[in-house]
Each structure stands twice: as structure tokens, then as C-alpha cells.
Amino acid sequence: MKIACLGGGPAGLYFAISMKLRDARHDIVVFERNRPDDTFGWGVVLSNETFENLANNDPLSAGEIRRHFAYWDDIAVHYRGEKIVSTGHGFSGIARKKLLQLLQQRARGLGIELRFETEIASAAELSGAYDLVVAADGLNSKTRNEFAAFFRPAVETRKNKFVWLGTHQKFDDAFTFIFEETAHGWIWAHAYQFDADTATFIVECSDATWHKFGFEAMSQDENCRACERIFEKYLGGHKLMSNAAHLRGSAWLNFPRVLCEKWSHENIVLMGDAAATAHFSVGSGTKLAMESAIFLANCLRTEPSMPAAFAKYEDARRTEVLRLQSAARNSLEWFEDVERYLHLDPVQFNYSLLTRSQRISHENLRLRDRKWLEGAEAWFQKLAGAGDNLIRRPMFAPFRLRDMRLKNRVVVSPMAQYKAIDGCPTDWHLVHYGERAKGGAGLVCIEMTCVSPEGRITPGCTGMYAPAHEQAWKRIVDFVHGETDAKICCQLGHSGAKGSTRLGWEEMDAPLPADNWPVMAASAVAWSPRNQIARAMTRADMDKVRDQFVAAAEMAARCGFDMLELHCAHGYLLSSFITPLTNKRTDAYGGSLENRMRYPLEIFRAVRAVWPAEKPISVRISANDWVGADGIEPRDAVGISRLLQDAGVDICDVSAGQTSVDAKPVYGRMFQTPFSDRIRNETGMATMAVGNIFEPDHVNSILMAGRADLVCLARPHLADPYWTLHAAAKLGDRGETWPPPYYAGRDQLYRLSGGGEPTTTAV
């Protein structure tokens, strides 16, 4: 085959090598506009896994690359006058220039023609003369733009500014992050050694800080001098250097996240940064480029035709790219939002930094550096006011809200059971909540319990509006308090426009087949075209419902519940006031966020006045309507939380969605946790995170990184009422208490889990 590689970066060169190794008869030319040694940038990082892939593909070039590797195991973080070091991270780095020289050498040795100082104006020029054109022309790929109609690229320019510098100061003991506070804001560096006497030194900051420094107007030289002054105490008198002569001005960039819908067109195929980019903070751009080169070379050998090879290449590599881009997005967003975390204690800040991409879990950190993690866990437990045993997972740390003391951080999230009769909880509820309270969670939250018959969602929903309800709930609360050390929270709500619907397992949110009751909400809006149009509440309605909430809170207090939660989420009555999607009012309760929050806050204040002062109140919100700018977005949720916080709400239970049938949620592991993180770290309010959190590792990492104070699990507790006790046994934690009649089961479980014998503590 006659092959043209457009671009002599890692992708173009390594693809040429990989093809030639598979069939020496290929006639391959690499076109590169620069001279052989002209490369920009400094060092690149390769993981052990990538190196193994390179070694399997071409042991010779891999051996040469290995000879020039700089290795380091530690990550050091300079922050607020402290240097925190953790180990076990295992990176290797190489000078980008050296890597390219080695690949050029290897390519020449294999008989590949390298044409430097040859700028290709259009890939179309090559596609007629060659059987295959690999467009590896980098981040600003002309080919991608020329054939944009076919490749359909999406380029997202990220917020932060960064510049890629080098230095002869040694950073050979650790991959080093330096966070500096200046008069113009925070600015930070990512530094790592890549050969005997040079280190990469990437400087990054927010757009606002960048403007305040006036970097825009600086030459590259002036920029280096300015950065030297900022990071003076870490540079030991060494200079910062730029080798980005090809870039205009001070060489600062915004990272462009690139993804193309298609990677091939006729005989042209995109590779490396031209096809997709991954943010430099996860150090995977070169990995993606070189592994894609190997994969396509394989496909061209195994597949019967070029289109089939392209299809297989695109399919497999896209999955890999999306996986990495997702981790890279978490990581780059962490750096974009870093000012949110700059109040954290150095221990927690470091943990948050290390786990920012969500690829490194809590237990994975233990494998890397047990001593450091145990130190961090001890810091967490101490702060939480734990007793003597400080080496426990964060999920087993106590928590206090007003006078309520929770034994651990796991919450059974509220879940409607649809098993009530005329609003009255039954033996089902006694057994259901009793089991969950025995199962080890620190707090059990009961389902949305409605303040009036017409405020129920379905005929099976529980209520708190009749003496029989109070009696039945008291029986449940007494059992929980008498037989377990869990606390129990009463969630109060009113269904609003989502009322008068069928049982959850029949058809969610569908109107009843008969005997529908009239519904009311903030405005005359129906939940869906199938549901009734709600009646817009009058002031008299508002007074009535407020008084119903107050009466229900008084009953809950008499039952002995430890905490109250107001359900202001998921499109029910109070939520219908908060979101502009359903609040169309023109009076003092509609319009601005302050106005839309007025009625929910009125309810909160009225309830707070009758709820025992020593007991906390939580509010559950939908922090994202998932419909874009027309609805609540996470930034609005911060505004909501500030109003709640000012009113005296003790903790915000941060849920999302279920406010619009048009919502397009982006699901994934812990997918709502970023909203809790944002609220907690921007307002300082305590939060509960919820949503697809199902492993102890998730819970521990959320807590340890300061993304929430409590973690709610719903569906996992339907599948396993004993989720917390089982997690403790699996993790070998002996501190959780089991009900005495179950000791024999507990001891067997610990033995089978390899966690040894638990301490025998009675409830």
C-alpha cells in the first residue's frame, strides 16, 4: 500500500512504524511541516499499561523509549504552606523531543520516508496519490476542518488558561502540584521531571486571574519572567523556558476538547489529537495517539477491506476515547472549579485532587499508599468527633446535626412503598423500616408522607393527617428507637400536580383509571398531557396547606422522629413553586428565585417554629431540572441553598430531576453528587448526596473528598436492608453494631469475608 501520514507527531510516526512492521512492502511517507528538532512542548507521561502495549507492538522502539524514561512514584502537593506527599502512583515521563527523535530514528531504520519542512495544504492533495492518508495533523487539524461536513467535529473550548513551560529546576522526587495564592487570584503549576535535567512546568489559572496578571499583552519571555516571580520559592533560582515559538503572543492556550462523529472519509482517516483530545491533566494524549496507531494498523491487517478496518477502528477507539474523555472532563472541571476547594484542609484538598478524575477509588488509594490514606482517614474521624478508633472508613464516622447524633454517614433514602391504607402505615411499613434500621444505616428516612388526603401522590401513599397515622408511625419510631441505634427522619410532602396517580409499580405518574381527585400546584400546569391541569393555588389554599404541614410536623414531633425533611424536589407541590418550568405566577410567589422560594420558605419557617429546637430539619431539592437554561441548573441550586441556609435549614438533601417530562438527565455513577459538591463547597452548607451511589467505595470517596456530609442510598437498600452491615463485614470493619439475636450470623459472615471476628457490642 502507498501510505501518506500527514503529521510527524507521535500518531503519524508511530502509525508509520506499526504499518511497516506488519508489512515491510508498504511504501510510507510522513509529511511534517516542521524541522526534525522543532518540537513544541516538554515532557509527556506514559503509564505502565501504555508502555506494555508499546513493547508488545515494537520491542525495539519501546526499549529505546524505556532507556530515556524518568520514573517517579510520588505526588507532592504544595498548598497553603504545606507539602503533602503520597506515593505508589507509578508514572514515567520522557521528553517529547526525545520521544519524537527515537520514533524518527526507528522510522528511518525501517525505510519510511520522512519529509520535514513540508506543509500539506490539503489532505485532498494526498488522497488521489496515496491508497491511504492518515491525518495525524494534531489539535488544530486542517484535515478535520477541511472535511468537517463528513467528520462532524465538536470542539469545546474550556475555561482555564494554561501555558506549557520547562525548567532545569529538579522535580525528580515527585509529580508536583503547586497552588499559589496571589493578589490576582490563585494560580497553579503541574510539574514533572522528564530527563536528567529538565522538567515540564505547566502553569494554569482561571480566565479572570489571567486577565488580571495581564499575560495577554506579554511576550513569551516576559511571561516566563512573570511566572518565575510567582513560583520563585519553588524554582531554586532556575528559569522557566518556553519553546512554543510557533505560537503567537505569550503562548497561553485554552484547552480544546475535540470529538468527531466520524473519523474517516473515503481513504482519509483521522488519528491522535486530530480525532479526539484528552485534557493534559490526565496525561493521556500521547497514549491515545500511539494506541490508536497500533489499533488501526492491526485492523488494516485483519479486516477484509479498508472501510471495514476503519469501521472497526472507529468503533473500538471511540469507546476508549469516550472513557478517557469522561475521566479527563472530571479532571479538567476540577481544575476549572478549583477555587471552590481552596478553603479545604490540606488533607482533604489533597484527597480531592488525587481522586478528581474519579478513576482512583478510595480503596485503590489504599493500595497505592496505605499510610497516607490512613492518616487522612484518621483526620476525618477526628474532625467528626469519633472516639479512639480513628482508622475507620469515612462512612463509619459519626455525624451531628443539632442534638441528633448519627453513628455513621449512611442514609436510607426516602422510598415510597405504596402500601398504606387511607394514608395509614401498616405492618408492611413496620417491618420494612424496622429491617432497614436494623441493617446498620445511621439514618432511615421514611417515604414522602403526605400532609393531606389530596396531597398524596397515589392512594397507597402514607399520610400524617389523622390520629391513626400518628399512632401507626409512633409504633414504627418506637421500634426503631427501642431495638436499634439508627435515627429516623420523617419526610413530609404534598404531591401538587403529580397527585392522583397510580401506584409506583402500576404506572408511574399516570392518572388513576377512576375517582381522580382534583390537584393544585403553583400554577395551572399539568404534569404531562395525560394528567389533570392543576388549579393555581390561591392565598387561601396556601394558608391551608401551610397549616397542614404544621399539623403534620407536630404529629411527627409527638411520634418522636429524630429529624424532619421537607420534600421540595421532584416536581411535587413545593418543587412546583421553585422551578420556573411550573411556576408561572405573576404575584409575589413567581418570577425571581427569591419570589419562587417564598412559599417553600414560609412552610419551612412555620414548621421550624413547631419542630423541637434540638432536632434538625432537612430540605430535599432538585438541583437540576435537566432541561438546560429554561429550568433549574446547578448554579441556581447554589442560590436555592443559600436561601435555605439563611432561613436556618440544617442540611440540604441534593437530588435532581423529575420536574419535567422533557428532562434529559445524564446518568452515571454518582451522577448527582457534583451538585451536592458544588452546594457544600460554595455555600458551606451541610449536604446529603444521592443518586446511583451503590458501593462503599463511592460513599467513602464522596465523604473523604468533602463532596457531601451524608450519603443516601435508595435502591441498594431495597435490594439489601443490611447494606451497611454487609459493607462493614466486607471491608473488615468491626465497629458496627449488630442486633444481638443476629450475632451468630454476623460472626459467620466476618469469618467468610476474611475480616476476622467483630467486637461483640450489644445494641
Ligand X SMILES: Cc1cc2nc3c(=O)[nH]c(=O)nc-3n(C[C@H](O)[C@H](O)[C@H](O)COP(=O)(O)O)c2cc1C
C-beta closer to ligand X: residue 223 or 655: 655
Quick check: helix, strand or coil at residue 95?
strand
Q: How many CA atoms lie within 13 A of 502 on its CB side?
A: 11
Q: Is 373 a binder of ligand X (CB under 6 A)? A: no
C-beta closer to ligand X: residue 240 or 410: 410
- CA angle in degrees (0–180, nearest 5) for 200-210-260: 70
CB of 343 to ligand FAD, least distance (A): 28
Give the footprint of ligand FAD on residues 200-219 (CB under 6 A).
Answer: 202
Mark 282-321 with x for binding to ligand FAD (rule: CB under 6 A) and - for no binding: -xxxxx-x--------------------------------
485 interface partner picked from ligand FAD, ligand X, none, CB below 5 to 8 A per type = none
C-beta closer to ligand FAD: residue 279 or 502: 279
Residues 6+ apart with CB under 8 A from 362: 355, 373, 393, 394, 697, 700, 701, 704
Give the footprint of ligand X on residues 544-583 (CB under 6 A).
Answer: 567, 569
138 interface partner picked from ligand FAD, ligand X, none, CB below 5 to 8 A per type = ligand FAD
Span interacting with ligand FAD, options 135-143, 214-222, 373-381, 636-644, rule CB under 6 A: 135-143
416 interface partner picked from ligand FAD, ligand X, none, CB below 5 to 8 A per type = ligand X
Q: Is 155 a binder of ligand FAD (CB under 6 A)? A: no
Q: Is 67 a binder of ligand X (CB under 6 A)? A: no
Q: Is 395 a binder of ligand X (CB under 6 A)? A: no
Annotated catalytic residue: which of 433, 572, 589, 722? 572
How many Å apart are CA 539 and CA 589, to the nearest integer?
10
Given 415, 444, 486, 729, the residue binding ligand X (CB under 6 A): 415
Could you tell me whether strands 686-690 and 710-713 are parallel, antiparallel, or unpaired per DSSP bridges?
parallel
Q: Is 691 a binder of ligand X (CB under 6 A)? A: yes
Given 4, 7, 469, 726, the residue binding ligand FAD (CB under 6 A): 7
Span interacting with ligand X, options 171-179, 221-229, 317-325, 410-418, rule CB under 6 A: 410-418
Could you tell me whether strands 2-6 and 132-135 are parallel, antiparallel, or unpaired per DSSP bridges?
parallel
Cell of 251: 503562548
Q: Is 504 a binder of ligand X (CB under 6 A)? A: yes
How many Å apart are CA 722 and CA 728, to the nearest integer?
10
C-beta closer to ligand FAD: residue 10 or 739: 10
Q: Where are the beta strands (DSSP E) in 198-307?
A: 198-205, 240-241, 253-260, 264-265, 268-270
Given 447, 509, 677, 736, the residue binding ligand X (CB under 6 A): 447
- CA angle in degrees (0–180, nearest 5) for 302-306-309: 45
Given 288, 376, 397, 690, the residue binding ligand X (CB under 6 A): 690
Q: Is 448 a binder of ligand X (CB under 6 A)? A: yes
- Is 351 in the active site? no
Q: Is 138 a binder of ligand FAD (CB under 6 A)? A: yes
Per the CB < 8 A criterion, the answer to whether 34 and 47 are in contact is no
414 interface partner picked from ligand X, ligand FAD, none, CB below 5 to 8 A per type = ligand X
Span interacting with ligand FAD, options 8-16, 329-337, 594-602, 685-693, rule CB under 6 A: 8-16
How many Å apart are CA 226 and CA 213, to the nearest integer?
9
Q: Is 685 exposed, middle or buried (0-12, 13-18, 19+ CB in 10 A)?
A: buried
How many Å apart are CA 391 and CA 733, to the nearest integer?
9
C-beta closer to ligand FAD: residue 331 or 737: 331
How many Å apart are CA 212 and CA 161, to the nearest integer?
12
CB of 70 to ligand FAD, least distance (A): 12
Give the number of residues in contact with ligand X, rule: CB under 6 A: 20
How many Å apart are CA 257 and CA 154, to the nearest integer?
8
C-beta closer to ligand FAD: residue 207 or 646: 207
Per the CB < 8 A criterion, the answer to whether 271 and 293 are in contact is yes
Q: Is 320 exposed, middle or buried (0-12, 13-18, 19+ CB in 10 A)?
A: middle
Give the footprint of ligand X on residues 609-668 (CB under 6 A).
Answer: 620, 655
Tally of residues, the chain: 763
C-beta closer to ligand X: residue 189 or 578: 578
Mark 242-281 with x for binding to ligand FAD (rule: CB under 6 A) and - for no binding: ------------------------------xxx-----x-
Given 120, 486, 689, 725, the residue binding ligand FAD (CB under 6 A): 120
How many Å apart are CA 631 and CA 640, to the nearest integer?
13
C-beta closer to ligand FAD: residue 33 or 598: 33
Per the CB < 8 A criterion, the answer to whether 383 and 424 are in contact is no
How many Å apart are CA 743 and CA 754, to the nearest integer?
16
Closest of 68, 286, 47, 85 to residue 171, by C-alpha: 85
Cell of 215: 499575560
C-beta closer to ligand X: residue 436 or 620: 620
Span interacting with ligand X, options 303-311, 388-396, 708-716, 752-760, rule CB under 6 A: 708-716
567 interface partner picked from ligand FAD, ligand X, none, CB below 5 to 8 A per type = ligand X
CB of 457 to ligand X, least distance (A): 8
Given 189, 401, 713, 727, the residue binding ligand X (CB under 6 A): 713
Find the helix or strand (DSSP H, E) in which 291 lies: helix 285-302
Closest of 196, 194, 203 to residue 175, by C-alpha: 194
Given 72, 91, 151, 164, the residue binding ligand FAD (CB under 6 A): 164
CB of 414 to ligand X, least distance (A): 4
Q: Is 715 a binder of ligand X (CB under 6 A)? A: yes
Q: How many other C-beta atoms are found inside a 10 Å radius of the C-beta of residue 125?
A: 13
Given 65, 714, 727, 729, the residue binding ligand X (CB under 6 A): 714
- Alpha carbon of 109 to those of 20, 22, 295, 625, 760: distances in Å? 11, 15, 22, 59, 70
Q: Is 102 a binder of ligand FAD (CB under 6 A)? A: no
Give the footprint of ligand FAD on residues 20-59 (CB under 6 A).
Answer: 31-34, 41, 44-45
Q: Is 687 a binder of ligand X (CB under 6 A)? A: no
- Alpha carbon of 17 to those of 27, 107, 131, 143, 453: distances in Å? 11, 6, 17, 22, 74
How many Å apart are CA 293 and CA 279, to the nearest integer?
19
Q: How many other C-beta atoms are found inside a 10 Å radius of the C-beta of residue 427?
A: 12
CB of 634 to ligand X, least distance (A): 16
How many Å apart are CA 338 and CA 317, to the nearest integer?
31
Which amino acids are annotated catalytic? Answer: 572
Question: Which residues lie near ligand X (CB under 6 A)?
Answer: 413-416, 447-448, 491, 504, 567, 569, 620, 655, 690-693, 713-716
Question: Which residues lie near ligand FAD (CB under 6 A)?
Answer: 6-12, 31-34, 41, 44-45, 119-120, 136-139, 142, 162, 164, 202, 272-274, 280, 283-287, 289
